[in-house]
A and B are shown apart, each in its own frame.
Chain A
Amino acid sequence: MASTATRLTRFNMTSLAAGLAFLYLPIGILVIYSFNASRLVTVWGGWSLRWYHEFFNDRAMLEAAWMSLSVAAVSATLATLLGTLAAVGLARGERFRGRALFSGMLYSPLVMPEVISGLSLLLLFVALNAERGFWTVTIAHTTLTMCFVTVVVQSRLTALDRSLEEAAMDLGCDPVRAFLLVTLPLILPAIIAGWMLAFTLSLDDVVIASFTTGPGSATLPIRIYSEVRLGVKPEINAICTLVIALIAVIIVIASFASKLSNARGESAAPL
Chain B
Amino acid sequence: MPLLRIEGVAKSFGNFRAVDKLSLDIRAGEFFALLGPSGCGKTTLLRMLAGFETPDEGRILLGGSDIAQVLPHERPVNMMFQNYALFPHLSVRDNIAFGLKRAGMARKDIAIRVAEMVALVKLEGMEKRKPDQLSGGQRQRVALARSLARRPQVLLLDEPLAALDKKLRESTQGELMELQRRLGMTFIIVTHDQEEAMTMAGRIGVMDAGRLVQVATPRNLYEAPASRWIAEFVGDINLFNGEVAARDHGRLTVKTTEAGTLAVSELWPPVTKQVVSVAIRPEKVKLSRRAPATDAGASQAINRLEGVVIDVNYLGGVTSYRVKLETGAVVRSSMANTARLDVDAYLAGQRVVAWFTADDCLVLEQ
Residues of A whose CB lies within 8 Å of any CB of B are: 161, 163-164, 166-174, 177-178, 181-182, 185-186, 264, 266-268, 270-271
Contacts and interface: CB of A to CB of B under 8 A. Distances in A.
A166 B72 contact: yes
Given A166-B81, A172-B103, A268 B88 contact: yes
A166 B366 CA distance: 41
A267 to B, nearest CB: 3
A174 to B, nearest CB: 6
A167 to B, nearest CB: 4
B163 A270 contact: yes
Contact of A267 (B132, B147, B150): B132
B98 A170 contact: no
Nearest 7 pairs between A and B by C-beta? A172-B102, A270-B83, A171-B99, A267-B132, A167-B85, A163-B85, A267-B88
Given A166-B72, A168-B98, A171-B150, 18 more contacts: A163-B81, A166-B81, A167-B146, A168-B87, A169-B51, A169-B52, A169-B73, A170-B72, A170-B77, A170-B99, A171-B73, A174-B71, A174-B73, A181-B98, A267-B88, A268-B88, A270-B84, A271-B163
A168 B85 CA distance: 9
Contact of B85 (A161, A172, A264, A267): A161
A165 to B, nearest CB: 9
Nearest to A178: B73
Residue picked from A174, A177, A182, A271, most chain B C-beta under 10 Å: A271
A254 B189 CA distance: 44
A171 B146 contact: yes
B81 A173 contact: no
B50 interface: yes
28 contacts: A163-B81, A163-B82, A164-B88, A166-B81, A166-B85, A167-B79, A167-B81, A169-B71, A170-B50, A170-B51, A170-B78, A171-B73, A171-B98, A171-B102, A171-B146, A172-B99, A172-B102, A172-B150, A173-B102, A174-B73, A186-B89, A264-B89, A266-B132, A267-B130, A270-B82, A270-B83, A271-B83, A271-B139
B79 A170 contact: yes
Interface string B44-85: 000000111000000000000000000111000111011111
A170 B73 contact: yes
Contacts of A166: 50, 52, 72, 79, 81, 85
B73 A172 contact: yes
Place the interface of chain B in its size category: 20 to 34
A110 to B, nearest CB: 30
B72 A169 contact: yes
Contacts of A266: 132
Contact of A185 (B73, B85, B89, B132): B89
B282 interface: no
B78 A171 contact: yes
Contacts of B37: none
A168 B131 CA distance: 16
Contacts of B202: none
A271 B89 contact: no
B136 interface: yes
A172 B105 CA distance: 12
Interface string B97-108: 011001100000
Nearest to B103: A172
Name the residue in A167, A168, A171, A264 with the highest tally of chain B Cβ atoms < 10 Å from its Cβ. A171
A146 B102 CA distance: 34
Nearest to A269: B83
Interface string B175-218: 00000000000000000000000000000000000000000000
Nearest to B130: A267
Given A267-B131, A270-B163, A173 B73 contact: yes
Contacts of B98: 168, 171, 181
A167 B147 CA distance: 9
Nearest to A164: B85
A170 B150 CA distance: 10
A13 to B, nearest CB: 39
A164 B304 CA distance: 58
A185 B89 CA distance: 7
A163 B81 CA distance: 7
Contact of B88 (A173, A181, A186, A271): A186
Interface in B127-144: 130-132, 136, 139
Contacts of B150: 171-172
Interface string B330-350: 000000000000000000000
A81 B233 CA distance: 52
A168 to B, nearest CB: 7
Contacts of B81: 163, 166-167
A181 B89 CA distance: 10
Most A Cβ at <10 Å: residue of B78, B84, B85, B89: B85
A174 B72 CA distance: 8
Q: Which of B77, B87, B131 has most chain A Cβ within 10 Å?
A: B87
Q: Which of B84, B89, B131 has the most chain A CB atoms inside 10 A of its CB? A: B89
Contacts of B73: 169-174, 178
A270 B82 CA distance: 9
Contacts of B79: 166-167, 170
B50 A167 contact: no
B101 to A, nearest CB: 8
Nearest to B50: A170
Nearest to A172: B102
Contact of A264 (B88, B99, B102, B147): B88
